[in-house]
Amino acid sequence: METSSRSEDAVLLATARAARQIGQLPGAPTPDWATRAAEILAEADPATRTEVVIGVVRSTGPLTECRGSAIGGWVPSEESSDAPRGRRLCRSLLAALAPERRCGVWRIHDLLGPDAARRLSGSDEPVLAAWVPVPHSDPGAVRALLAVWGAPGGSIGMSPEARERILKSLLPLLAERVTTAIGRAEGRGSWLSAGEHRVLELLTSGLTVQEIADRLGRSQHTIHDHVKRIHRKLGTRSRGSLIARTLGTWQPPRPKRRTFAFPLVGRGCFVDHAGW
């Protein structure tokens, strides 16, 4: 009984920590978004490996916009021997889950079959796939965040059931945060570049354009160009809205209300239509 209680406390604590960190993910499409999300999940159970992919599935096949991976205790490089396997697994799961229009958590053995799941994941344990659909302007494309979370090579940590409970608890928060961050990013060109991301970080820390230029060794004109592109990509117009968007608290302005007048039995009938 005492062991079961300690296990329950560990699950609750891991969920609470991860939930707090998910709330601190950028509210803008930064190039490190997927990596930061992967690190949060990997930290929840140090025995797990996490792959996070934000991608689009079209008839021509899945396209990756942003990708990150992490293992509890260390962060693998792209040269890691597991990196190609992780990419193949994510491509297979993106294609398998493309028809889904709702958030959900699946065991990849059920999605891909035991043999394919074992070959692609390198694990006999249940590996979880969290699927979060994200709005996309192209009705023929499916855009989503895919998080693959599980123990690599039989690592010992939480039970698979405990991991599944954690991921299901975190999924609504993850869905809200990723939609806030990339709901307006249409394709790879709308994601911030590494240089724009650095300028944004310095802007939100309170530095002026001249101070940023001095810090980065660039001209003030170059920094102004970066800021203009950042505003265009994020749909903001002021530094205040830019900071709010980055923190995930900004909401786009509502469309102006238009009033139309129609004659009705000799009198004016006014109808207010928002968003027409």
* pLDDT score of 259: 46
Q: Give the tens place of pLDDT for each residue, 228-265.
A: 999 988 888 888 888 888 887 655 555 454 444 445 44
Among candidates 23, 31, 24, which has minimal Cα distance to 197? 31
Check residue 261 and give its pLDDT: 46
Give, for 63, the enclosing helix (H) or strand (E): strand 61-71
The reported pLDDT for the residue numbered 49 is 87
What is the model's pLDDT at position 239?
Answer: 86
* SS3 at position 53: strand
- What is the 8-class DSSP label of residue 122? -
Provide CATH 3.30.450 ranges for the chain: 2-184
**From-to residues of CATH 1.10.10.10 in the chain:** 192-247
Q: How far is CA 246 from CA 25, 40, 172, 234, in A?
A: 9, 18, 20, 9
Q: Which long-range contacts (CB under 8 A, 24 or more apart) does 89-92 make?
A: 89/51, 89/120, 89/121, 89/148, 90/51, 90/53, 90/55, 90/62, 90/64, 90/146, 90/148, 91/61, 91/62, 92/116, 92/120
Give me the CATH topology for the region 2-184: Beta-Lactamase (3.30.450)
Helix axes 160-182, 2-22, angle to 10 degrees: 10
d(CA 6, CA 11): 9
Q: What is the pLDDT of residue 234?
A: 86
Nearest one of 177, 150, 25, 176 to 90, comparing CA atoms: 150
Q: Please name the CATH architecture into which domain 192-247 falls.
A: Orthogonal Bundle (1.10)
Dihedral class, residue 23 (left if φ above 0, else alpha if ψ from -120 to 50, else beta): alpha
Does pTM surpass 0.75? yes
The residue ranges of the chain whose pLDDT is under 70 are 1-4, 73-83, 152-156, 184-189, 249-276
